[in-house]
């Protein structure tokens, strides 16, 4: 029933005769929240957010009421809600948790003193809930603390205290009018008016050499051709989950020029004739959620997109939902469990339909290339490689941040672009592309950090999340930090990954038993369904290979 929540009466005809008693008050509250919405199964995670935002947690009574409204079983809702770290499930009669401080525990934050800050905050704020949490995508200002919805960079006890109760502040970004005045959306309009064909734009992408910036590096033009080869209807999903620790380039672009991504998205959607677009944005980026909500409305007001053509969705704290098939499960309102392939998402993605999935930065470049031609990307050459990379740089450098450099840049180029090493630190090791890429020694300083250049070193560039480590950092601790992350984020679907990550953590906390770790790594790499389990051994194997003295 369009325009309002569909309510099913309790009692006769209920979809689930067993379970907790429906409470009229909770049902009225949930119904009020969903008023003016067409209740859809795939929007379950959005509804859970609505309830939690309003009531501070997910009570059993509200879950029961939501089950009623959605004609689902309580168990189904509970199963989904409990999968995501950001949902607080409350037992009967339990009060919502107190105000929460989340201290980032990723490698860059740890190196910047997050553990000590966590301990201090726990002592200073006994009235609050102080938690450790995975990477918040702001590593250039480590250590980071989330104070409710706020994220405080270079945090200390004082700045955390000062942020409590403050409203969200949006960064100064290029809004619709400014982008439009600067020639924005002209290429899109030309495409739609028939001045360019999808084949032509696809060819331009192939010529540019653009590859997926989400980590897998699949040539973007080829991806379009695969999706276009499938019979419609087709969908599109924008991957704005940016969960790989150390990565913050997507946030960087969205906080500055969101319309570059949005126009790239609309050009790509036009090329594959997508019926609808979903943007899956990580929950750690509330400012960007606000920016995108405003700017999507501006696109609608300008008549560039039809109402409801684009749906903005909020993730809920699950790294695995960055993996494209898990993201699609989440977009369908389910737990983020990666799917077995084939079929690939280009063949059977959202609701089983062919789906084009692109990372935010890939789309950013698509609009730039569509406007400026293949050469604006391709002409950047270095060390035999062409193209550009947005390296997210953090750790022991003087000026961390996103560094846009030729794709063939080496770690020395990146350190130089970051102002050199931080005072008092000597370059010792680096993580080239998130924890999935492991750790390389400083002596490998002539390798271009691009797709396909790091395999022989047991690594890969992934999302280009570079963390620079110094003589003062422990490689053993760094690798353990990475494996703890994988153990916490494994979806648990396959045994080698679930058990392997946990077991590896236990061994690494104790004495590194090389034969045992190597066996474990082999099983994980070979028998895991998705990239998480397949790449999780990399920190262990690279430390064993390059830094045997560290363990
Ligand atoms: C464990 C795992 C996590 C991932 N996380 C992300 C992510 O946060 N953002 C992203 O764009 N891609 C991520 N990817 C890659 C996506 O599966 C997919 O390749 C990408 O979104 C495709 O877009 P692209 O071709 O434009 O890069 C992840 C992959 C794996 C295996
Ligand atoms: S490899 Fe790990 S994260 Fe991936 S599907 Fe298997 S258990 Fe889940």
- State the Rg of the chain over Cα: 23
Phi, psi of 429 (to 5 degrees): -160, 165
Residue 149, pLDDT score? 86
Residue 21, pLDDT score? 86
Residue of 219, 267, 280, 324 to mutate, ligand 1, most atoms within 8 A of C-beta: 324
- For residue 531, the ligand 1 atom closest to its alpha carbon is 31
Residue 18, pLDDT score? 52
Residue 19, pLDDT score? 62
**475-489 vs 538-546: helix axis angle to the nearest 10?**
170
Q: How far is the CA of 79 from the centre of ligand 1 (A)?
A: 24
DSSP 205: H
Residue 22, pLDDT score? 87
- Please, which contacts does 74-81 make with residues 24 or more away whose CB atoms are closer than 8 Å? 74/16, 74/19, 74/20, 77/44, 77/48, 79/335, 80/44, 80/45, 80/48, 80/333, 80/334, 80/335, 81/48
Whole-prediction pTM: 0.96
Q: How far is the CA of 489 from the centre of ligand 2 (A)?
A: 9
Q: How far is the CA of 532 from the centre of ligand 2 (A)?
A: 6
User: Parallel, antiparallel, or unpaired for β 427-431 and 465-470?
Assistant: antiparallel
C-alpha 203/C-alpha 387 separation (Å) is 16
Residue of 214, 226, 261, 339 to mutate, ligand 1, most atoms within 8 A of C-beta: 214
First vs last Cα of the chain: how many Å apart? 62
Atom 2 (ligand 1) nearest CA = 323
Low-confidence ranges of the chain (pLDDT < 70): 1-19
């Amino acid at each position: 029933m369009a325009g309002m929540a569909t309510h099913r009466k309790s009692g006769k005809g209920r979809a689930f005769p067993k379970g907790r008693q429906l409470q009229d008050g909770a049902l009225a509250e949930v119904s009020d929240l969903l008023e003016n919405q067409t209740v859809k199964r795939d929007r379950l995670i959005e509804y859970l957010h609505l309830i939690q935002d309003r009531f501070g947690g997910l009570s059993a009574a509200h879950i029961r009421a939501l089950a009623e409204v959605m004609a689902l079983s309580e168990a189904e809702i509970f199963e989904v809600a409990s999968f995501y770290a950001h949902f607080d499930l409350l037992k009967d009669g339990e009060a919502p948790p107190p105000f929460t401080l989340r201290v980032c525990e990723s490698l860059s934050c740890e190196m910047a003193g997050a553990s000590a800050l966590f301990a201090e905050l726990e002592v200073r704020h006994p009235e609050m809930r102080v938690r450790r949490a995975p990477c918040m995508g702001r590593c250039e200002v480590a250590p980071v603390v989330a104070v409710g919805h706020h994220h405080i960079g270079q945090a200390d006890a004082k700045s955390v205290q000062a942020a409590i109760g403050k409203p969200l502040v949006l960064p100064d970004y290029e809004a619709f009018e400014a982008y439009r005045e600067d020639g924005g959306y002209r290429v899109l309009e030309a495409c739609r008016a028939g001045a360019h064909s999808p084949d032509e734009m696809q060819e331009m992408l192939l010529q540019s050499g653009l590859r997926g910036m989400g980590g897998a590096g699949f040539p973007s033009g080829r991806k379009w051709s695969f999706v276009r080869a499938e019979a419609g209807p087709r969908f599109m999903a924008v991957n704005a989950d940016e969960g790989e620790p150390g990565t913050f380039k997507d946030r960087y672009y969205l906080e500055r020029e969101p319309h570059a991504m949005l126009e790239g998205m609309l050009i790509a959607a036009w090329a594959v004739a997508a019926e609808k677009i979903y943007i899956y944005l990580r929950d750690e980026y509330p400012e960007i959620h606000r920016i995108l909500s405003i700017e999507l409305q501006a696109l609608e007001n300008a008549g560039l997109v039809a109402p409801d053509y684009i749906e903005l969705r909020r993730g809920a704290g699950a790294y695995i939902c960055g993996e494209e098939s898990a993201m699609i499960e989440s977009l369908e309102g389910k737990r983020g469990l990666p799917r077995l392939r084939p079929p690939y998402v280009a063949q059977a993605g959202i609701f089983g339909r062919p789906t084009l999935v692109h990372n935010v930065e890939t789309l950013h470049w698509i609009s730039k290339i569509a406007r400026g031609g293949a050469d604006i990307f391709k002409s950047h050459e270095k060390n035999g490689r062409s193209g550009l990379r947005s390296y997210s740089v953090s750790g022991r450098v003087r000026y961390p941040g996103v560094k846009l450099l030729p794709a063939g840049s080496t770690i020395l180029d990146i350190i130089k672009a970051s102002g050199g090493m931080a005072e008092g630190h000597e370059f010792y090791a680096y993580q080239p592309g998130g924890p999935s890429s492991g750790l390389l020694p400083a002596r490998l300083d002539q390798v271009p950090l691009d797709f396909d250049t790091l395999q022989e070193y047991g690594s890969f560039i992934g999302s280009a999340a570079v963390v620079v480590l110094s003589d003062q950092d422990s490689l053993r601790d760094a690798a353990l930090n990475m494996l703890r992350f994988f153990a916490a984020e494994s979806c648990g679907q396959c045994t080698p990954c679930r058990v392997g990550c946990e077991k590896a953590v236990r061994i690494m906390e104790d004495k590194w038993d090389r034969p045992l770790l190597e066996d474990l790594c082999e099983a994980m790499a070979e028998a895991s369904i998705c990239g998480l389990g397949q790449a999780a051994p990399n920190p262990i194997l690279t430390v064993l290979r390059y830094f045997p003295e560290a363990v």
